[in-house]
Structure 1
Amino acid sequence: MARAVQTSSFPSKPLIAAACMIGAGASFALVNVCLQAATMQLGLPAASAAFWQYLVALLFALPWILRRGRAALVTRQPKLHALRILLAVGGVQAWVFGLAHVPIWQAIALVMTSPFFVILGARIFLKEQVGPLRWLATLLGFAGGMVILAPWSERFELAALLPVLAAALWGGASLVTKRLTGVESADTVTLYLLLLLTPVNGALALIDGAVVPTGLSLYLALGAGLFTVAANYLLTLAYARADAAFVQPFDHLKLPLNILTGWLAFGFIPDGYLWPGAALILAGSFLVLMEDHLARRQMAVG
């Protein structure tokens, strides 16, 4: 009987992980709807929207921060933490400002180029070896981004580059995080991000007028913060219950989820440039996963 229970419960972990990853994508889509409605439709400045989003997220995370205590704040890499925060804040600001000007579907497709900036940065700054499949994946990803941007089109506007800037900055933050996790505990890396992101966003909001949301804008800012916490928590659960190679393809569902929420909330309908561009980006992403899978198999055989 015990053996039957163990066998039947085995598939539940990857299924739960997949559900958590899909839930994270849906939560991020709701974050984007809240931010776009607050900025594009209600006129809340992007810097203020980002500040209130992460302030609410920080308040929800306070119990976890307090449990870790002062020991988790001991660091030997303050400069790297500062660089990571600057890159992360820059990415957040570019992202929220981009959502105030371009449709959700375009923004989310372009920000999916972030892993390709990580590959490029790993080769240039970390001197990591990059195989031919990853180079091909990077070329496909950037080609897909260019197709979606369509700079040759009359509808092209410079604001469409903001999600690409966000992708590049978040890619840089990921590289710094990778360097930090080699010398710092995961708790320390996470705590510094949570504790420093909000005040730096707050300083930028002060420069932009420090608008306090009221009415519907306030509820949207609260919703963005709440869904940010939910998305990150579900993301953590997904990676805790299955291998990254298994759950990563489910992360790509965030594109159709954002298209759906953008259509339901604002009536945004993607044009023809999205589909071939997104196909190239997804093809590049799957090439990266394929190379990782092949590398694991070689290590197992060796």
Structure 2
Amino acid sequence: MRAALLMLGSTALFALMVIAIRLASASLHTFEIAFFRNFFGLLAALPLVWRHGPGFLRTTQFPRYLFRCLVGICSMLAGFWAIGHLPLAQAVSLSYSTPLFVTIAAAAMLGEQVRARRWAAVVAGFVGVLLIVRPGTSGFSTGSLVAVLAALLSSIVAIQIKQLSASEPADRIVIYTTALWVPMSLVPALGVWVWPQGIVWLWVVAAGVFGTGGHMLWTRALKLGEVSALTPISFMQLPIVAVFGWLLFDESLDRWTLAGALVILGANAYIAHREAVLARRAASEGAGAAAKPGE
């Protein structure tokens, strides 16, 4: 129950971050919003350094952090652009294709064995992506490909986090990621810089606080609960964003986006379920082998 509540809180905070980004994008370029999200996100993460002490920052994995953050900032810039220029429900729905790319990347980069049923779920998920993007039709927008690119890059980041988490604690990953993203995001922001005015400051501060808060709750939820049980909760971000998109920006959820989102979410839920089943089976077999005497 605690893990479920943490994931629900994370989902709500990420949804509010998306709303804050869209509100700020009316006055600022999304590249600049990304910088402020990281800057204020770093301020929100600084209490972690005080909690653990400066020695907590010692690591032998700095080159891996650097690569992870370079890819991550490219994913963030593409994702923020999509939030600022596409209907919110469409941008969020396409972001859920990340686990599909993660499955492919895990097989290619980590050598993980992916069997037929999970490959079938991946194919089904990409059918959902095609339903949303609709290439070759009047509803196609090249901007939707930016959202797909963000999801692809995010999958590489997810693989890097998986590798880092084997030796690095979650709070250290949060601190280093946010700290490196600040200067990385400043470079493209300087090319489009305009100082925020009035209430826009509230939106960029909120984007940073909500984003870091959501990241913290997300890492803690996954540590306490199984991915297969928690993944469906994260899908609540879509209806939250769709409702705010309708209330604040007069955006409607078209049937193609809804159909594609349901297919993608169903594929992700099945992939998460299969990974959990296989992990439990491997743990059970390992425990059984360890219990055999004389071996």
Q: TM-score, normalised by structure 2?
A: 0.90
Does 2:8 align with 1:22?
A: yes
Matched residues in 2 for 1:79 and 1:290: separation?
Answer: 33
Q: Which residue is 1:118 aligned to?
A: 102
- Give the SS at the match of 2:39: helix
Matched residues in 2 for 1:290 and 1:240: separation?
Answer: 16
Change (3 A) 1:30 1:191: closer
Q: Which residue is 1:233 aligned to?
A: 216
Change (3 A) 1:218 1:140: same
Does 2:37 align with 1:56?
A: no
- Output the amino acid matched with 2:78: A
Change (3 A) 1:154 1:125: same
Matched residues in 1 for 2:198 and 2:274: separation?
Answer: 49
The Cα shift of 1:99 comes to 1.3
Matched residues in 2 for 1:91 and 1:84: separation?
Answer: 11
Change (3 A) 1:81 1:71: same
Residues 72 and 187 in structure 1, CA contact (< 8 A), matched pair in contact too: no
Matched residues in 2 for 1:67 and 1:79: separation?
Answer: 25
* Count of paired positions: 285
Q: Which residue is 1:205 aligned to?
A: 189
Does 2:166 align with 1:166?
A: no
Change (3 A) 1:119 1:227: same
Q: Which residue is 1:294 aligned to?
A: 277
Matched residues in 2 for 1:80 and 1:296: separation?
Answer: 26
Does 2:266 align with 1:283?
A: yes
- Output the amino acid matched with 2:60: R
Q: Which residue is 1:6 aligned to?
A: none
The Cα shift of 1:89 comes to 0.5
Q: Which residue is 1:264 aligned to?
A: 247
Q: Within 5 Å, which residues of 2 pair with 1:1-302? A: 14=1, 16-39=2-25, 42-206=26-190, 208-299=191-282, 302=285
- Output the amino acid matched with 1:257: I
Residues 134 and 140 in structure 2, CA contact (< 8 A), matched pair in contact too: yes
Matched residues in 2 for 1:221 and 1:134: separation?
Answer: 39
Matched residues in 2 for 1:150 and 1:189: separation?
Answer: 37
Matched residues in 2 for 1:124 and 1:299: separation?
Answer: 21
Matched residues in 1 for 2:167 and 2:55: separation?
Answer: 15
Matched residues in 2 for 1:143 and 1:297: separation?
Answer: 29
Deviation by residue 1:16-71 (Cα, 9 ceiling, x = unmatched): 432332222222111111111211xx230111111111211111111112333343
Unaligned runs of at least 5 residues, structure 1:
1-13
Matched residues in 1 for 2:281 and 2:166: separation?
Answer: 24
Matched residues in 2 for 1:17 and 1:244: separation?
Answer: 10
Q: What percentage of aligned pairs have identical amino acids? A: 30
- Output the amino acid matched with 1:292: E
Matched residues in 1 for 2:79 and 2:142: separation?
Answer: 14
Residues 121 and 268 in structure 2, CA contact (< 8 A), matched pair in contact too: yes
The Cα shift of 1:298 comes to 2.7
Matched residues in 2 for 1:102 and 1:132: separation?
Answer: 34
Change (3 A) 1:91 1:142: same
- Give the SS at the match of 2:48: helix
Change (3 A) 1:290 1:119: same
Matched residues in 2 for 1:25 and 1:214: separation?
Answer: 29
Residues 75 and 153 in structure 2, CA contact (< 8 A), matched pair in contact too: yes
The Cα shift of 1:297 comes to 4.7
Residues 227 and 272 in structure 2, CA contact (< 8 A), matched pair in contact too: no
Residues 107 and 114 in structure 2, CA contact (< 8 A), matched pair in contact too: yes
The Cα shift of 1:292 comes to 2.2
Matched residues in 1 for 2:225 and 2:273: separation?
Answer: 17
Residues 133 and 144 in structure 2, CA contact (< 8 A), matched pair in contact too: yes
The Cα shift of 1:296 comes to 4.0
- Output the amino acid matched with 2:92: I
Instruction: Name which of structure 1's ranges 177-186 and 216-225 shifts more when overlaid on structure 2.
Output: 177-186
